[in-house]
Structure 1
């Protein structure tokens, strides 16, 4: 059962890289630059990102590509 506080599915770096189609280093660049918000999940378990934040990032990238193509 989902609570009202549920932010959605949390992904580790491997899962996020698969969804985004990127390398581990590129993923961490996106996180460190703030392109994709991240959350600490304990000391050992590291960084987590929300699946929806990854999907939002992909949608923004697609919109940017379409704008560039329309201006050429």
Structure 2
């Protein structure tokens, strides 16, 4: 399972639509960003101002966490 990879940016979009008066900021790693990158077109088309801060952590962070938890650190 990819679990929650790519969740932050779409969640920020939903939060902004629900509360347009509040800022919406998504903090995402580059792997998760790649999974939700196409949603930027939704933001442009629908004029939804969301900020995405993308960091290069050189890993799929959620998957790394799963590997550590489920495979006793043998990754």
TM-score in terms of structure 2 length: 0.28
- Structure with more of its chain in helix, by fraction: 1
TM-score (norm 1): 0.29
